């Protein structure tokens, strides 16, 4: 099976060697789709502004770290000063593994795994770059796509083998003895370990590890602050992580880890599960302990910069608002508890008056009034 | 937030122009027949019935009467008519930080019956739409079970299947309206609900296949998207009526609805219906995940917060007329229609008021009446052209009655975000246009 599949791909990679340009053909339309991955942070096109990342108009031919009014990492500025200019080659290398190419970059993006995606997104960015020359004229690229195709060829049969036409298992495989329908197979310990990452308030599920407030500050500043703010105050509409203690009864409560969240385990679980946004699962377990320790510090739950959080002391730490969570008691509210036949005639004393009108008459994407929707969807 | 607009081709997709501040209403009206509004509102009461001239649309042969159209192969996957191009999901960008972790809304005012077309079911993602080859998808069961198991899609399709129609409502539907009427359109005030027929298998069968240990009381459901979305669900509910669905309205789930499989948790808040479902873990306690502690908990006025508020309470809304769907025909025979649903059962009755809740009349429910599904109601009346304050009030078969917004606020304050099922009022003006308002009690 694998032999059969390898054949056309092998031919393809031979062709790639012979025709480097064909292999690195760039498709701006496909790149527009790839660019969706970038849009959380970057704008391009008319009216593009700096957001979490710099705007990307005229990126091709631009010296790295030079968009006005954007606060780059020191690493990116240094690279630019050393002469890094974005072109096909430098962008390709950067997009493949940003943190490797510019060690210390603020961009918390894992990189694009597929060479075609890299080439396509560059093609797309070229459509917004006046200085962009003819695409892919460099010869050095001949090697790389070919290499990648080989890698793809090696990887492909595995994927295809999984494409079940009913022959994942040999036809004469034994019928499993579990259950009623005898469907599925036993999960292997490594598989369960890979996915079973949830943590509970009692600390069950925690990996062995440790990290200090000071270590967490380094990671947080580099990786988290770009969205959540240097002090956890939240940039734009990204979640606020710190502060807000004593505001839960206010007109505009601020619900943070320190003011609202009931359990520390949720912080650890979620950071390990889904953060940083756009590059989840990139922190080590010790890194997660460090970041969580730093979040405790930002929320004044711990005050000592030397504090070290570990699987041993984790369950002993309580968040201030734990006691304020109660069970669902909606059905005790008068409107529900009554269950009375509702009034049908003259249910209000006199003619009904309008007491309030829609605040946003034209519900539009470009509302200027940024405050109207505060706290609506979280 | 202006820049969001140019920045997001998704909203510009399918040749649809991005509705800007002033064009949305116009667009909505155009869809309902813009010319009809201008003419109809001006000559209200006259109506087309008294036309003096023969209608050329009848007397002339039209192009579509003469020239053959596309053959059968032109549209291998059929799409709505070009004249329906404005019937799409829309979002309100300022609600959230990023479109990958955001929401858009079902155009309820453009739909009828009880089934939501697949392409119009609202979307809510926390890490964008995961694109998964079903051949690469796995469902694992681990934790307090006799056998920890892994299933392929093919395995799952060998379990006995069932078909059920259920509504799915986001707990934050109408969440923007807690402090008062805000958004002008039922798509935005109530559009985080959809109603679909699911084909899938019983979670009970899956859990029994693994064999739940006696101490197992909770199940953690987990998705495969970049947020690895998780919720703790009581075992009792999972064994009762939850499903793992792979089809919606007869065809494969849409990617934005969790392709290849999603969890169906009938009557309970949409966040629990884990999309791109990849794992069930059985445990003896809830896991207190982010979406059941920091989110999807209901903050009350006294600073306490309710947690595990799973059921979606009895609710209804008039979808037509409404701000995006004004009355364009002038006075006379008029149809009011809307949707009603309850996460606790079937809808037993819907009442409609034309005077802001002072007097009520029973509406007519038409179409299937199914457990935990939306119900379609109609109220047909002769409009005299005067101003109206229209409301609907639903009752479910458990005896629960949809409360007023004031009753909800009295019990909870205004910071609950979730579970706002208060009675909605539309102010219908003499020209047939409608506005989202609140009224005296």
pLDDT tens profile A106-138:
787 778 878 888 999 899 989 888 876 544 444
Residue B115 forms part of a structural domain: no
C-alpha distances in angstroms, A97 versus A56, A108, A112, A147, A356? 18, 10, 7, 16, 54
The domain boundary, picked from A67, A102, A135, lies at A135
Tokens standing for residue B76: 């291998």
Supply the pLDDT for residue A363: 55
Q: How many domains does chain B have?
A: 2
- A350-377 pLDDT, tens digit per residue, is 999 999 998 766 654 433 333 333 333 4
Q: Could you count the other beta carbons within 10 Å of the beta carbon of residue B347?
A: 26
Where does a domain end: B278, B303, B328? B303
CATH number, residue B234: 3.90.420.10
Q: Does B249 touch chain A (CB under 8 A)?
A: no
Task: Please answer whether residues A355 and B439 qualify as being in contact, where contact means their C-beta atoms are separated by less than 8 angstroms.
Answer: yes
pLDDT at B340: 98
Same domain, B267 and B382: no
Do A131 and A220 lie in one domain? The reply is no
Give yes or no: residues B178 and B298 share one domain: yes
Unique residue bearing structure tokens 């619900």 = A255
In this prediction, residue A372 carries a pLDDT of 35
* Dihedral over Cα of B129, B220, A190, A108: its sign: positive
Convert the pLDDT of each residue in A269-306 to its tens digit.
Answer: 999 999 998 889 999 999 999 999 999 999 999 999 99
Q: Chain A contact for B323, CB < 8 A?
A: yes
The verdict on residue A304 lying in a domain is: yes
Residues B166 and B286 in one domain: yes
Domain boundary among A100, A119, A135: A135
Number of domains in chain A: 2
Q: What is the pLDDT of residue A131?
A: 73
Instruction: Return the pLDDT at B306.
Output: 98
> Would you say residue B91 lies in a domain?
no
pLDDT < 70 regions, chain B: 1-51, 95
Q: Which of A78-87, A263-272, A339-348 has the lowest mean pLDDT?
A: A78-87
User: Is residue B344 exposed (0-12), middle (13-18) or buried (19+ Cβ within 10 Å)?
Assistant: middle
Distance from CA of B287 to the nearest CA of A (A): 5
The pair phi, psi for residue B436, each rounded to 5°, is: -80, 115
Quote the CA–CA distance of B407 and B421 in Å, as a whole number: 11
Place of tokens 């109206």: B388
Residue B405 included in any domain: yes
Within an 8 Å CB–CB cutoff, is residue B404 touching chain A?
yes
Contact B257, B248 (CB under 8 A): yes
Residue window 49-108, chain B: list those with CB within 8 Å of chain A.
91-103
Residues B329, B182, single domain; the answer is no
Banded pLDDT at A24 (limits 50, 70, 90): low
Residue A6 domain-assigned (yes or no): no
Cα(B376)–Cα(B363) distance, integer angstroms: 10
Query: Rounded mean pLDDT of A309-322?
Result: 97
- Residues B385 and B245 both lie in one domain: no
Is B378 or A32 the better-scoring residue by pLDDT?
B378
What stretches of chain A show up as alpha helix (H) in DSSP?
2-18, 20-23, 28-34, 74-81, 88-96, 98-101, 115-126, 143-162, 189-195, 213-219, 225-228, 264-274, 285-298, 334-338
- Pair A241, A358 in one domain: yes
- pLDDT for residue B12: 37
Contact between A274 and B289 (Cβ < 8 Å): no
**A342–B351: do the CB atoms touch at under 8 Å?**
yes
Evaluate whether residue B122 is within a structural domain. Answer: no
Residue A165 lies in a domain: no
Instruction: Give the domain CATH number at B328.
Output: 2.60.40.650
Q: Is residue A180 part of a domain?
A: no
Q: Give yes or no for B335 touching A (CB within 8 A).
A: no
Question: Given this model, what pLDDT does residue B118 score?
Answer: 98
Same domain, B247 and B282: yes
Q: Are residues A304 and A201 in the same domain?
A: yes
Q: Which residues contact B123 (CB under 8 A, 6 or more apart)?
A: B89, B103, B104, B129, B256, B257
The reported pLDDT for the residue numbered A113 is 79
Q: Is the dihedral of CA A230, A231, A235, A238 positive or negative?
A: positive
Q: What is the pLDDT of residue A148?
A: 44
Q: Closest residue of A to B390, CA-based?
A: A352
Closest-CA residue to B379 (of B366, B388, B367): B366
Supply the range of the domain harboring residue B205: 134-303
Q: For residue A316, is it within any domain?
A: yes
Considering the entire predicted model, what is its pTM?
0.77
Residues of B within 8 A of A263 (CB-CB) are: 288, 293
Residue A124 lies in a domain: yes
* CA B287 distance to own-chain centroid: 28
Report pLDDT for B378.
98
Instruction: Report how far residue A257's alpha carbon sits from residue A292's, in angstroms, rounded to the nearest whole number.
Output: 10
Same domain, B408 and B267: no
* Facing B185 at nearest CB: one of A236, A262, A363: A363
Instruction: Clarify whether residues A254 and A359 are in a common domain.
Output: yes
Which domain range does residue A321 map to? 187-364
- Which of B255, B283, B303 is the last residue in one of the domains? B303
Same domain membership, residue A84 and residue A200: no
The reply to whether residue B440 touches residue A355, judged by beta carbons under 8 angstroms, is yes
**Does residue B268 fall inside a structural domain?**
yes
Boundary residue ending a domain (B249, B274, B303)? B303
A-B Cβ pairs (cutoff 8 Å, strict) = 351
The pLDDT of A131-148, averaged and rounded, is 46
Residues B430 and B345 in one domain: yes
- What pLDDT score does B50 carry? 65
Asked if residue A199 has pLDDT above 90, the reply is yes
Residues of A in contact with B155 (CB under 8 A): 183-184
3-state helix, strand and coil shares in percent for chain B, rounded to the nearest 5: 25, 30, 45
What pLDDT score was predicted for residue A129?
87
* End-of-domain residue from the set A135, A158, A176: A135
Q: For residue B104, is it within any domain?
A: no
Same domain assignment for residues B291 and B337: no
Are B299 and B319 found together in one domain?
no
Residue of B29, B224, B228 to mutate, interface with A, max A Cβ within 10 Å? B228
Answer whether residue A18 is part of any domain. Answer: no
CB pair distance less than 8 Å for B411 and A362:
no
Q: Which residues of A touch B360 (CB under 8 A)?
A: 342-345, 347
The answer to whether residue A44 scores a pLDDT higher than 70 is: yes
- Mean pLDDT of all residues in A45-70: 87
Kindly report the CATH number assigned to the domain that includes residue A291: 1.10.760.10
Q: Is residue B20 part of a domain?
A: no
């Amino acid at each position: 099976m694998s032999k059969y599949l390898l054949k056309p791909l092998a031919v393809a990679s031979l062709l790639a060697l012979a025709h480097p340009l064909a292999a690195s053909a760039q498709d701006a339309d496909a790149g527009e789709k790839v660019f969706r991955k970038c849009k959380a942070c970057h704008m391009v096109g008319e009216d593009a502004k700096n957001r979490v990342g710099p705007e990307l108009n005229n990126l091709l031919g631009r010296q790295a770290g030079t968009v006005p009014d954007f606060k780059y990492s020191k690493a990116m500025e240094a690279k630019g000063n050393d002469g890094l200019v974005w072109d096909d080659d430098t962008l390709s290398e950067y997009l493949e593994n940003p943190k490797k190419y510019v060690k210390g970059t603020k961009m918390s993006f894992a990189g694009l795994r597929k060479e075609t995606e890299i080439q396509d997104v560059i093609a797309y960015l070229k459509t917004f770059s006046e200085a962009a020359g003819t695409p892919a004229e460099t010869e050095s690229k001949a090697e790389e796509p070919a290499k990648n195709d080989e890698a793809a060829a090696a990887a492909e049969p595995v994927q295809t083998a999984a494409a079940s036409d009913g022959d994942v298992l040999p036809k004469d495989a034994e019928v499993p003895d579990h259950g009623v329908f005898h469907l599925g197979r036993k999960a292997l310990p490594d598989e369960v370990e890979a996915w079973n990452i949830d943590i509970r308030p009692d600390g069950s599920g925690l990996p062995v590890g440790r990290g200090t407030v000071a270590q967490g500050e380094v990671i947080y500043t580099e990786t988290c602050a770009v969205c959540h703010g240097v002090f956890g105050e939240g940039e734009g509409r990204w979640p606020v992580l710190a502060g807000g203690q004593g505001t839960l009864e206010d007109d505009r409560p601020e619900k943070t880890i320190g003011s609202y969240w009931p359990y520390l385990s949720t912080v650890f679980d979620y950071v390990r599960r889904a953060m940083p946004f756009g590059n989840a699962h990139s922190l080590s377990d010790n890194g997660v302990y460090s970041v969580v320790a730093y979040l405790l510090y930002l929320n004044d739950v711990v005050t000592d910069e030397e504090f070290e959080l570990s699987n041993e002391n984790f369950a002993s730490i309580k968040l201030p608002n734990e006691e304020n969570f109660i069970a669902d008691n909606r059905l005790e509210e008068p409107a529900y508890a009554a269950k009375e036949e509702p009034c049908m005639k003259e249910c209000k004393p006199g003619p009904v008056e309008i007491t309030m009108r829609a605040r946003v008459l034209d519900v539009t994407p470009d509302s200027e009034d940024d405050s109207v929707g505060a706290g609506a969807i979280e | 937030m202006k820049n969001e607009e140019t920045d997001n081709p998704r909203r510009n997709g399918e040749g649809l122009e991005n509705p800007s501040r002033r064009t949305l209403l116009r667009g909505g009206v155009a869809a309902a027949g813009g010319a009809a509004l201008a003419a109809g509102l001006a000559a209200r009461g006259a109506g087309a019935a008294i036309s003096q001239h023969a209608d050329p649309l009848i007397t002339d042969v039209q192009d579509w009467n003469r020239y053959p159209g596309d053959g059968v192969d032109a549209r291998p996957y059929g799409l709505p008519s070009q004249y329906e191009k404005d019937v799409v999901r829309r979002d309100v960008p300022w609600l959230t930080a990023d479109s990958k972790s955001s929401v858009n809304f079902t155009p309820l005012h453009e739909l009828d019956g009880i089934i939501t077309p697949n392409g119009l079911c609202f979307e809510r993602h926390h890490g964008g739409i995961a694109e998964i080859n079903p051949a690469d998808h796995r469902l694992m069961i681990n934790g307090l079970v006799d056998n920890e198991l892994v299933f392929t899609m093919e395995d799952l399709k060998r379990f006995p299947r069932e078909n059920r129609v259920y509504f799915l409502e986001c707990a934050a539907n109408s969440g923007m309206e807690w402090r008062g009427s805000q958004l002008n359109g039922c798509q935005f005030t109530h559009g985080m609900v959809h109603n679909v027929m699911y084909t899938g298998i019983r979670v009970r069968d899956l859990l029994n296949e693994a064999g739940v240990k006696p101490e197992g009381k909770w199940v953690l459901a987990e998705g495969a998207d970049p947020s690895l979305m998780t919720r703790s669900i009581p075992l009792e509910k999972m064994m009762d009526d939850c499903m793992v669905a792979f089809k919606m309205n007869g065809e494969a789930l849409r990617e934005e609805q969790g392709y290849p499989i999603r969890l169906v948790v009938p009557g309970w808040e949409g966040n629990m219906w884990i999309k791109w479902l990849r794992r069930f873990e059985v445990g003896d306690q809830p896991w207190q995940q982010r979406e059941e502690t920091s989110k999807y908990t209901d903050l009350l006025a006294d600073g306490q917060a309710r947690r595990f508020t799973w059921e979606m309470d009895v609710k209804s809304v008039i979808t037509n007329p409404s701000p995006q769907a004004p009355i364009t025909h002038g006075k006379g025979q008029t149809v009011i229609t809307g949707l009603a649903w309850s996460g606790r059962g079937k809808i037993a009755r819907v009442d409609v008021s034309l005077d802001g809740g002072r007097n009520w009349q029973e509406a007519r429910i038409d179409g299937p009446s199914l457990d935990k599904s939306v119900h379609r109601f109609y109220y047909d009346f002769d409009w005299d052209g005067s101003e109206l304050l229209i409301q609907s009030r639903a009752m479910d078969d458990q005896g629960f009655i949809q409360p007023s917004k004031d009753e909800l606020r009295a019990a909870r304050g205004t910071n609950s975000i979730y579970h706002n099922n208060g009675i909605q009022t539309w102010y219908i003006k003499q020209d047939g246009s409608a506005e989202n308002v609140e009224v005296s009690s």
